[in-house]
Amino acid sequence: MTKFAIGLDFGTESGRALVVDVATGREVGSAAYRYADGVIDERLPGTTIKLEPDTALQNPNDYIETLKRAVPEALKQGGVRADDVIGIGVDFTACTILPTRTDGTPLCTLKEFKSNPHAWTKLWKHHAAQPEADRINALARERNEPWLAIYGGIVSSEWYHSKTLQILNDAPEIFNAADKIIEASDWLVWQISGALKRNACAAGYKGLWVKGLGFPSNDFLRALDPRLDRLNETKLVGEIVAPGTRVGFLNEQAARWMGLRPGIAVAAPTIDAHAAVPGAGVTEPGRMVLILGTSSCHMILARERHLVPGISGVVEDGILPGLFGYEAGQVGVGDIFEWFVEHGTAARYKHRAKERGISAYQLLEEEAAKLEPGESGLLALDWWNGCRTPLVDANLSGLLIGATLGTRSPDIFRALIEATAFGTQMIIETFERHGVAVNELVACGGLAERNKLLLQIYADVTGREFKEAGSGHTSALGAAMFGAYAAGRAAGGFDSLTDAAKAMAQTKDVTYKPNTQHHATYRKLFAEYRTLHEYFGRGTNDVMKRLREIRNAED
Amino acid sequence: MTKFAIGLDFGTESGRALVVDVATGREVGSAAYRYADGVIDERLPGTTIKLEPDTALQNPNDYIETLKRAVPEALKQGGVRADDVIGIGVDFTACTILPTRTDGTPLCTLKEFKSNPHAWTKLWKHHAAQPEADRINALARERNEPWLAIYGGIVSSEWYHSKTLQILNDAPEIFNAADKIIEASDWLVWQISGALKRNACAAGYKGLWVKGLGFPSNDFLRALDPRLDRLNETKLVGEIVAPGTRVGFLNEQAARWMGLRPGIAVAAPTIDAHAAVPGAGVTEPGRMVLILGTSSCHMILARERHLVPGISGVVEDGILPGLFGYEAGQVGVGDIFEWFVEHGTAARYKHRAKERGISAYQLLEEEAAKLEPGESGLLALDWWNGCRTPLVDANLSGLLIGATLGTRSPDIFRALIEATAFGTQMIIETFERHGVAVNELVACGGLAERNKLLLQIYADVTGREFKEAGSGHTSALGAAMFGAYAAGRAAGGFDSLTDAAKAMAQTKDVTYKPNTQHHATYRKLFAEYRTLHEYFGRGTNDVMKRLREIRNAED
């Protein structure tokens, strides 16, 4: 009897339901719902209230609509009966938080608060809490807080405490009215299962929660603002559970919304990027998962905690229970290539692509693929958007060296791809130098799907085999594995995530193997990259920062 | 009674005759003749003989045709009678040399030699003699030749001895048959006046001639190749005269060709770029003439010889009699901008320019002019074509730093203009540090005519006033001054070049004055430029050279 698990993937613009055969990983149904209110960054829905710059909100009702619309459609697509669905897993963007009443009612759905932007869900890319982040960083450094090093020394404006402090500062009435301030992922699971828990992934990577230490201490919170006193026991309360842990069972109402059977297992949620790790079939140390997109995430598991400078965080149980999950990242990857296609590519390539009915991006990839490593004579530093790992410095900028009158657009395009590969190599070396082994690479994400040249270059640069995840919805597939794991073997699922991943995840047949000769050339180029990386990135020549200061002085 | 002088300007693709009123500098007639054989770089004219790469030849008959066609037309245009023309001056590309018989007959006009490429004029940009230049440099360094430092330590493949040695190596039969191997400028003057002299400008800047030392010694020549024994007394013989010196009088035949009166003064010729100095009205120390084009030349006069590293040369009497003429240069200026328009500009700017009926270049200039110094956050090293002064290094390459996802084409265009301005500032400082004062700048050349933004940026970067030469044919005007000077006051001309320049040269009314605030910002940016210039240019980080080696290894 075939059993199915559902993975629910809540993204930035839409939510998706994926129905997966737990025995084979076959994706039998997939449907997305595009959020009616999308990313709210100009006006509050149904009002004329203009939002501040860097604000990015969502409407929690869009998550519920995703349940109502995407799940039934995905089930129908796969011809799957409600009785054969054994569990639900959820992945979500993070840190994406909302203030609610004790019963989970979002404040933004209440008449008295709905005109206040701070009553709405703050989306991960809400960037208006930088002053709050600065304050948190200064205080944590001053007090030498034990958790700071675990986050590479810097708390982001995107994270839980920055956003919560912004609510307190800018809308104390909302802060006071909020019984809970909660990750949207945990809220969603709470709504469908009745269980209010906090997943270790979002708590760990975005909420400064460290297993054994807990959240930042009440002392720290009170020093930050006396009104934060007892935050951990009130608005932030809730048992911390590893992603995939069964938190409860589907309630009647949610079962009705989705056309499912009440009582099936509901798993603790996880962050979308992190769900891609089991989704790509990785449940053990040594294999790094790269989620390649506009920016890139690098996820890897290990049995111990190591302090690795410049990573986004290391969280015990954060990706998979029983292991330490490490996250690192590059802030500019796909967006640099898009920038180059739009703003740096000669018109002739645009014309030629148009004539051939392909995109300029495709033509550049095709032409760049004809070049040998080193043939362009170019080298770039991939810092168009700053550097996350290992330098954690948003004020760095892009560099191109080696240009001549013979330089053409495909030369630069390839140099930019190579630069991001060197950036990944730098991250791998940073991990290895601090005790985290990286033996093999598995790629997923939009860029991995779209740019095969990139995967080969990454293999050649890193000297490591590169596999591609089998699913086009790696995160949703990972979430479905959590659902099958939460259901347990007795219900037709699995008693371990490793078993779930073995059964349900595949990589594509293609393996990108490093070409020995190319790797040798790239070793030379990487040595040059490293020298420039250190020279411009570690204070020998801070010209990039000074250029930025001069630029800002001109504003 | 109005008197006129004629300036003959022999360029790469065409020759021009300019008829100038000696009292006022008014240009009454101007006509160009486009060489029938142009630049010969694929096949010898009238044959199927294919030429080697880097070969660039001319047909000396095209020079004679210029006399026959351009001069009569320019006279007609100005309504000028032959009797009112008092003198002729000539400027020419250099080093542009040809082998001839004792009577001046070019070997390429003789049946037995015309199928041999080495019998033809080798144009300045003939670059096939690099092995010969390497040999000359090695030997000169080994022997510590006294003239080497005067040329910034490097002899170019473009120069007289490199080209002559190539004839000897590749076509000894031509070398043997050549009674003279002579600059085309001196050959032309010889043909119209009967006087075989060598102008100090070409001899000094391109022939390693140093006043007081003469040409490289016979010892050196024999060490280079025993067959060069006595070159100085045979093929290279001829009195050295300062440009503008009257070498003789127009002969019957040439007078007939041009429709002029025999017996008028003929001046010793000069190199085209160097003729621009008096052409721009500069006859005294302290005012630098910039000839801004594809590449740029920087000319300045001084009363003494200083050894300035990285300059192209310093020649006593080389530009004007009685003064030391200094030449420095940037190998990439206008060609970098052209490269960027063709190969680095986003399609949207091309489209918008087309819609507005202007060139993409004009649109970029217009948009770049809206930016404040430093606003783009970009900085570039202008080494797309290597660096001439002060580093004399063809293996350096272009660098762009400060790029972000917000970088747009006009930002880069402006950064490239600024980079060439910083390059000029570096040249000015190199001169000043070695004792040659630079107080004011005068611009001429195609780029000065076309790009007013560039002139303002150069003024702002250098902190010096920038004037624009009044003539659109600065070199030809300079040559006409030499003609008027050769004629002398008794014939209606001048007894000094200073008087000639005062009467005949103007600068345009516009003066580009440095904006104090812009200059302050540019001082900061130039400090950054200088740091990168030293870091990448002087051996701290030879990444540019290694990238080139890796590239070459890929070929």
**Tokens at residue B190, please?**
């010889």
Q: What is the pLDDT of residue B462?
A: 97
Among residues A266, A299, A193, A303, the alpha carbon closest in space to that of A485 is found at A266
Contact A379 B547 (CB under 8 A): yes
Q: Which residues of B touch A397 (CB under 8 A)?
A: 377, 401-404
Sign for the pseudo-dihedral over CA of B90, B93, B95, B101: negative
Q: B203-245: per-residue pLDDT in tens?
A: 999 999 999 999 999 999 999 999 999 999 999 999 999 999 9
Closest chain B CA to residue A349: B347
Yes or no: say if A206 and A324 are a contact pair by the CB < 8 Å rule.
Answer: no
Q: What is the pLDDT of residue B450?
A: 83
- List the single residue in B342, B385, B405 with the smallest CB-CB distance to A339: B405
In a mutational test of the B interface, the residue from A295, A333, A385, A401 whose CB has the highest number of chain B CBs within 10 Å is A401
Strands B197-199 and B270-271: unpaired
Contact A554 B372 (CB under 8 A): yes
Contact B541 A554 (CB under 8 A): no
Q: What is the pLDDT of residue A153?
A: 84
Q: Which amino acid is at A550?
A: I
Yes or no: say if B59 and B121 are a contact pair by the CB < 8 Å rule.
Answer: yes
Q: What is the pLDDT of residue A555?
A: 61
Q: What is the pLDDT of residue A506?
A: 79
Q: Which alpha helices (DSSP H) does A178-248 contain, by range?
A: 184-193, 200-206, 218-224
Q: B250-278: per-residue pLDDT in tens?
A: 999 999 999 999 999 999 999 999 999 99
Among residues B353, B355, B333, the alpha carbon closest in space to that of B345 is found at B353
Closest chain B CA to residue A386: B404
Yes or no: say if A113 and A107 are a contact pair by the CB < 8 Å rule.
Answer: yes
Q: What is the pLDDT of residue A519?
A: 98
Q: What is the pLDDT of residue B61?
A: 98
A455: which residues sit within 8 A by CB, 6+ positions away? A443, A448, A466, A468, A512
Distance CA A511, CA A525 (A): 24
Q: Which residues of A touch B544 (CB under 8 A)?
A: 401-402
Contact A342 B342 (CB under 8 A): no
Q: Which residues of B touch A545 (CB under 8 A)?
A: none
- List the single residue in B375, B397, B408 with the smallest CB-CB distance to A403: B397
pTM: 0.90
- Minimal CA separation from A182 to chain B, in Å: 33
Q: What is the pLDDT of residue B153?
A: 84
State which H helix or E strand residue A517 sits in: helix A516-537
Half-sphere exposure of B83 (CA within 13 A, CB side): 1
Contact A541 B535 (CB under 8 A): yes
Confidence of residue A18 (pLDDT cuts 50, 70, 90): very high
**Tokens at residue A306, please?**
């190591």
Task: For chains A and B, count residue pairs whose Cβ atoms are closer than 8 Å.
Answer: 161
Contact A377 B547 (CB under 8 A): yes
Q: A236-289: per-residue pLDDT in tens?
A: 999 999 999 999 999 999 999 999 999 999 999 999 999 999 999 999 999 999
Asked if pLDDT for residue A393 goes beyond 90, the answer is no
Q: What is the pLDDT of residue B555?
A: 61
How many other C-beta atoms can be found within 10 angstroms of the C-beta atom of residue A261? 15
Selected residues 490-529 of chain A with any CB under 8 Å from a CB in chain B: 521, 524-525, 528
How many other C-beta atoms can be found within 10 angstroms of the C-beta atom of residue B24? 12
Distance CA A490, CA A495 (A): 8
More confident residue, A337 or A445: A337
Closest chain B CA to residue A413: B344
Contact status of A530 with chain B (Cβ, < 8 Å): no
Q: What is the pLDDT of residue A509?
A: 77
B387: which residues sit within 8 A by CB, 6+ positions away? B330, B331, B393, B396, B423, B537
Mean pLDDT by 10 residues, chain B (555 residues): 95 96 97 96 91 93 98 98 98 97 97 97 92 96 94 90 98 98 98 97 96 96 98 96 96 98 98 96 94 94 92 92 94 94 96 97 97 97 94 92 96 98 98 94 89 95 93 95 98 95 87 96 98 97 96 79
What does chain A come to in residues? 555
Closest chain A CA to residue B555: A375
Q: What is the pLDDT of residue A197?
A: 97
Distance CA A389, CA B339 (A): 35
Selected residues 364-383 of chain A with any CB under 8 Å from a CB in chain B: 372-379
- List the single residue in A374, A397, A525 with the smallest CB-CB distance to B377: A397
Q: What is the pLDDT of residue A72?
A: 98
Q: Which residues of B touch A530 (CB under 8 A)?
A: none
Contact A402 B547 (CB under 8 A): yes
Q: A187-214: per-residue pLDDT in tens?
A: 999 999 999 999 999 999 999 999 999 9
Contact A401 B547 (CB under 8 A): yes
Among residues B50, B65, B57, B52, the alpha carbon closest in space to that of B17 is found at B65
**Tokens at residue B356, please?**
């507005």
Q: A142-176: per-residue pLDDT in tens?
A: 999 999 988 888 899 999 999 999 999 999 999 99
Q: What is the DSSP string of B211-230?
A: TTTBSSPHHHHHHH-GGGTT
Contact status of A398 with chain B (Cβ, < 8 Å): yes
Contact status of A453 with chain B (Cβ, < 8 Å): no
More confident residue, A319 or A509: A319
Closest chain B CA to residue A342: B346
Yes or no: say if B50 and B115 are a contact pair by the CB < 8 Å rule.
Answer: no
Q: Which residues of A touch B519 (CB under 8 A)?
A: none
Q: A19-63: per-residue pLDDT in tens?
A: 999 999 999 999 999 999 999 999 999 889 999 888 999 999 999
- Minimal CA separation from A23 to chain B, in Å: 45
ipTM of the predicted structure?
A: 0.90
Q: Which residues of A touch B525 (CB under 8 A)?
A: 547, 550
Asked if pLDDT for residue A394 goes beyond 90, the answer is no
- Minimal CA separation from A520 to chain B, in Å: 11
Q: Which residues of A touch B407 (CB under 8 A)?
A: 339, 343, 384, 398
